[in-house]
Structure 1
Amino acid sequence: MTATPAAALFIPPLDPQTGITPDAPSTPLTLPTDSQFAWRMKHLGGLPEATYYHPDAVLHVHGNGIAQRLPLNPVAWTLASAWHGAQLPYLLVGPAVITGTEDHDGNFTPLSAPLADQTHNAIAAATAWWRDNHLHLPLWPFSLDSPAFAPAITATRNAL
């Protein structure tokens, strides 16, 4: 990570042209204090959906990404599965953004520096596994419960 703490992290989906996980595991983002809905829409490409898989972090994805056939995001799926403690039985598609939790005013808070670093390392571990095991990508959208993906989740969990 950089010396500047990330208030949020961006996880890119698979490259739609090549079907390969991007080299950069995550990109640090500055979370605005206002107009967060528009900011999330800009980074996700549409209506944001927020889900809690971790008590101190929120994973945001495009709320209609599957219907719009956005590119798969196995790295975000792997991180969410590691946080959840089990393989998710549904896909995550399109770009993903991770922030801190929602405050009493309905705004999302920045990630703490330790959680941002830990999450970045877990995303890097998931990215490395998917880049090394791209042969599993054709199986992934159709067999989310396959034991072939347990090592991806274990590698990600070990980095947390």
Structure 2
Amino acid sequence: MRSRARLDRISVGQPGCSLRSQPHRDVRTALPNRETGGLMRALCIAPDTAISELDLPEPGAPSAIREHIGSSGAVDLGVYHRQALLHMHGDGHAIGLAQNIAAWALASAWRGIVLYPMHGPVVVTGRAEDGGVAALDDDLAQQAHAVAQTVRETLAEWRLRPPASNEAALSELLAYAARDVVPSQ
């Protein structure tokens, strides 16, 4: 089946990750709060390719994720890597949120196929053995940062030298993203 992915222009003025995101604290050394049960590392990838480090409260992670992606309702959950979950606005496309090329490139590289477009901010968390939300590990966080940086650089280059076609753009971007998600040795 032929993919229908299409790279649309990014609108920098559209909503990104919640401005309430906090600087990342190393979850291995963060002291757990007895009332909340602790914090877990996550990332929020904005449609403009910016990444925010998040500390999500363990028992309140679902509501914190909804807040960061700007959804009061449905949150779509994607498993594109066996150790990660991507949380997306359930109505992002329908309400006109900007396409999230960095999150799309990351998910496509992790799956090894061209996926459908993603819209709006995307929160990346780890995935527990039972399929639930867990802290994101350092290797996957590094891959997300690398892919987002690659997408930023590639989009900047395309402003000077546009790709020959949408198919060429998809192929080029996914080749770069695939390189960025190769596990470090």
2:44 aligned with 1:10, yes or no? Answer: yes
Separation (CA, whole Å) in 2 of partners of 1:74 and 1:67: 17
How many residues get paired?
142
Q: 2:171 aligns with which of 140, 150, 159?
A: 150
Aligned to 1:18: none
Which aligned segments of 4 or more residues in structure 1 are displaced greater than 6 angstroms? Answer: none
When Rg is computed on C-alpha atoms for both structures, the one with the higher figure is 2
Unaligned runs of 5+ in 1: 14-20
Deviation at 1:124, TM superposition (A): 1.6
TM-score normalised per structure 2 = 0.67
- TM-score, length-scaled by structure 1: 0.77
Cα RMSD for the two superposed structures: 2.5
Q: 1:3 to 1:42 in 2, by over 3 A?
A: closer
1:59 and 2:59 aligned: no
Higher relative contact order (CA 8 A, sep 6+): 1
Give structure 2 stretches of 5+ with no counterpart: 1-22, 28-40
Secondary structure of residue in 1 paired with 2:124: strand
Shift of 1:75: 1.2
Deviations 1:20-51 (A, max 9, x none): x35xx311111211111210110111131110
Is residue 77 from structure 1 mapped to residue 111 from structure 2 by the alignment? no
The answer to whether structure 1 residue 132 and structure 2 residue 157 are counterparts is yes
Q: Percent identity?
A: 30
Are the aligned partners of 2:25 and 2:55 in contact in 1 as well (CA < 8 Å)?
no
Task: Please state if 1:95 is matched with 2:121.
Answer: yes
Tell me which amino acid in the other structure corresponds to 1:116.
A
